[in-house]
Amino acid sequence: MCRVGRKPALAGAVALLQARFGAASEASVRKAADLLADVPRLAVEIDIASPDRPLAVHQFLLRGEPVPEAVTASGFAGFQALWQPRDTPFGRWADTCFLETDLDGTGAPTGASVFFRGSPEAAADRSAAIHAASVAAFGPEKAGWIAGALDGIEPHLPVGARVSAFGWMIGRTGNCRVNVVGVPFGALPAFAAAVDLDDVPAEAATVFDLAVDAFDKVTLALDLILDAGGPATLRLSGFECFVDEAFGADQRWLGFARAAARYCGTDDAALSKLLSGFCRVLPGDAAARWPDAWLVHALTAPPGDVPVARARLSHVKVQPVADGRWRTKAYLAAERIRHATPAPRPSAGTPVPDARAARDAGIRFLLQRQDQAGLWRDFAEPGGASDEWAAAVIAYCLADTGAEGRIAAERAYDALLRRQRPEGGWGYNAATPHDADSTAWMLHLARRLGRDGAAERTALRFLRSHLLEGGGVGSYAGSTRFGITGPLGLQGVDGFKAAHACVATAAAAFLGDETRRFLAGAQADDGSLPGYWWSEASYPTAAALLLGGASLGVDGPGIDAGRAAAWLAWIPAAGITCFAAGLRLAALASIRAAGGAGHLKAAALLADRLVGAQRTDGGWDGDSCMWFPHPSDTLPVPSEGKPLPDVRGLFTTAAAVLGLDLFVRCGAP
C-alpha cells in the first residue's frame, strides 16, 4: 500500500482532485506524502500556462490539528509549541496554519514553507505573535529585522487594510512572506512608495486595479528579504485573487483573464477547464462519486453533521516575472468539509433587540462586506454575481443611514462611475449588457448623494432610449445585442426587451407623465403592481411609492398611492419574506414621513418580523423574490422561470436596513 493509502483523509482529497480537474497530482502527492498531514484538505499549485506539472502541494490545518512530526523535522521545529497553546499571543492571533511543499520537475519535494493566518479579532497580538515565531525560526537578530519591517508597514496601511497572514519560507529561501488584505482600488502606488517596496513593475498598479475590480478579495503578497548584511527589504511577490465560495464557478475569472491578457499568462481555454471542475459532492451522488477513502466518515457522521466534499479553484495568484510579463498560478483544492445543521433561531420568549439596534447591526453587516473596489456582490446566476446593479441598490439603501453609510455609498458610487459604459449605462454586472433598471438605480443613488454632472446626463439619455410606445420601459433596448445561453440553450430575448412595470417604477422619476400613465394602467385592482423580474409584487409596488415619480396625486397621472399602500399593509396569513417585509416597511414609513396615512399597525408588525429574523452577525438570510423568466416570455408576469435568491443575504439585508431606518426615523420606537 502506498504512503497516501495509509492516510485515508489525504487519499480522499487526492481522488476528488484527480476526478474533477485531472491534475497530475497523484504522483507528486505520493512523493511528498511523508511531509503531509492526514487531513481531508489538499491543494495543488499549477502554472496555468503549463498545468500538467504541479509546482507545490498545499494543506491547511485548523486549530487543534497537530503539525505533522515529519514536517517539524524538516524545518518547522518549534512551531508545534507555538501553534498549540491558546494562552500566548501567537496562540490567540494565528487561527489557521498553511503548509506548502515545493516540488521539483519530477514531483519530488524540494522545499517547505509555513504560513499562519491571523484572526482580525486578535490584531493586538499580531506583533508579539510574529516576533515570538521569528525568534524561534531565525534567532533574535533577524527577528528584529522582521519586526522593523512590519513596523514600517503598519503606519502606511490604507484605511480598512491589515496584515492578514505571515509566513516563514524556512526550507525554501530563508525569507518571509507578509500578506496585506484590504488595499483599495487605486491605492497601490502610494502604499508601495510609503513602505519602500523594491522593484515594483511599472504595470503593477494596473494589474492590481484590474484584480480588485474583478474579485471579492485581493491579497497583496510581499516578500521580506533577509540578507545577511542588514535589515529586511520588501519586494512584491504578487496578488492573490479570491472569489467568494457562494458564487461557485464564477465567470469573473475569465473576465479578469481577458482584461489582463496583455500582462498575465492566462487563456480562456485553461481557465474554463479549471472552472468546470467546481463541484459539491454528497455521499451517494452519481454525478461526482464520493471518494472511497471518506466513506467511513460519511457513515459515522453524528446527527446534524452532513458530510460534504468540494473541489474548486481556490484562488489565482498573478506574479511579476520580467519585462512586463506576469505568471499566473492556480490553486486547485479538494476537501471534505462539515456542513452542520444550522442552530435554531431564538425562541419567541428570547429577548431581541429593538428596531434601532437591528438597523445598526444590519448597517455594520453591510459595511463589513463592502469589497476592496467599493462594491457589493450578490446573486450567483445567470451570468455570475451581480455587482453593478446590486451595488447601486445597496448603496442607495445605506446612503441616508448615517455618516458611515454615506461614506460607503459615496465609495460605491465612485466605483460604479468607473464602470459606466460609453453609452452611459450600467448593467447587472460588468459582463452583461447595460440595462434600464441598473441605470435607473444608479441615477437614484446619484440624486440621493447630490451628484448631477456629465455622467448623470449621459445616463439619463441612455435611460430614455428604453422608453417604449405607451410609456412602458424595457429592461434592455431594442438595439441591445446579446443571447442567453445555458440550460435553456440559445434563446431569443424579446421578453427582456418588452415593457416591465418593475423597471418602470425605478425609471418613472426620470421619464415623466407617459411612464406614469403606463404604471397607472398596470396597477391591479388590489393596488399592487406586477413584476417581470420578481416572483411576487412587493418589490414593484413598494418601489413605486419609495422612489417617487410613479404618482403625482390628483393633479397628474400616476398610480393610486392609497391603494398601493393598503396592499403593502396587508400581510398574508402565510407570512412574507424578510426581503418583502423590508421593502414594504420602507414604503409605508416613507408615506408616514411625508405626512400620509400611517398604517402604523402593519409597519410595527413588519418591523417585528425583521427584528425577530435577524441573525447574530447582523444580517438576514437571503430570500429576495427575484425571478429569472424565460427570455422569450413577454407576459407582464412570466409563468416560466426560476428563483434567484441573494446567496450572501446582502440584498435582503439592505432592504431590511432601509425599512428599519425609515421606520425609526419617522418616529417609531
Q: In this structure, what CATH number is given to the domain that contains residue 505?
A: 1.50.10.20
Whether the predicted model's global pTM rises above the 0.75 cut: yes
Do 511 and 624 reside in the same domain of the chain?
yes
Degrees, nearest 5: CA angle 171-177-178: 155
- By the 8 A CB rule, do 498 and 546 touch? no
Structurally, the chain folds into a number of domains equal to 2
Please give the Cα distance from 88 to 68 (Å, whole number): 21
What confidence score (pLDDT) does residue 268 get? 78
What confidence score (pLDDT) does residue 552 get? 46
Domain assignment of residue 353, yes or no: no
Do 291 and 382 reside in the same domain of the chain?
no
Do 612 and 473 reside in the same domain of the chain?
yes
Do 114 and 189 reside in the same domain of the chain?
yes
Domain assignment of residue 434, yes or no: yes
Domain assignment of residue 426, yes or no: yes
CA distances from 176 to 100, 147, 293, 407 (A): 13, 11, 36, 36
Domain assignment of residue 354, yes or no: no
What confidence score (pLDDT) does residue 487 get? 45
What confidence score (pLDDT) does residue 76 get? 56
Do 531 and 604 reside in the same domain of the chain?
yes
- Cβ neighbours for 298, distance < 8 A, ≥ 6 positions apart: 283, 290, 307
Last residue of a domain, one of 340, 362, 397: 340
Within 13 Å of residue 528, how many CA atoms lie on the same side as its CB?
17
Domain assignment of residue 355, yes or no: no
Do 328 and 384 reside in the same domain of the chain?
no
Do 589 and 463 reside in the same domain of the chain?
yes
Domain assignment of residue 245, yes or no: yes
Cα–Cα nearest to 429, from 469, 389, 467: 389
- Cβ neighbours for 26, distance < 8 A, ≥ 6 positions apart: 4, 14, 18
Domain assignment of residue 513, yes or no: yes
Within 13 Å of residue 285, how many CA atoms lie on the same side as its CB?
16
CA distances from 139 to 76, 126, 130, 133, 375 (A): 14, 18, 12, 9, 43
What confidence score (pLDDT) does residue 394 get? 98
Do 332 and 209 reside in the same domain of the chain?
yes
Helices (H) then strands (E): counts for the chain: 24, 15
Range of the structural domain that residue 512 is part of:
376-665
- Cβ neighbours for 199, distance < 8 A, ≥ 6 positions apart: 235, 236
Do 15 and 133 reside in the same domain of the chain?
yes
Do 195 and 272 reside in the same domain of the chain?
yes
Do 388 and 498 reside in the same domain of the chain?
yes
Grouping H, G, I as helix, E, B as strand and the rest as coil, residue 595 is coil
What confidence score (pLDDT) does residue 553 get? 46
The single-letter DSSP state of residue 491 is B
Bridge partners (DSSP) listed for residue 219 = 181, 240
What confidence score (pLDDT) does residue 297 get? 84
Amino acid at position 193, single letter: A
What confidence score (pLDDT) does residue 346 get? 46
Per-residue pLDDT tens over the stretch 336-373: 987 655 544 544 444 457 999 999 999 999 999 999 99
What confidence score (pLDDT) does residue 350 get? 46
Last residue of a domain, one of 340, 362, 386: 340
Domain assignment of residue 387, yes or no: yes
Q: What stretches in the chain show pLDDT beneath 70?
A: 1-3, 24, 67-79, 228, 339-352, 382, 483-491, 549-556, 593-598, 668-669
Grouping H, G, I as helix, E, B as strand and the rest as coil, residue 154 is helix
Do 13 and 73 reside in the same domain of the chain?
yes
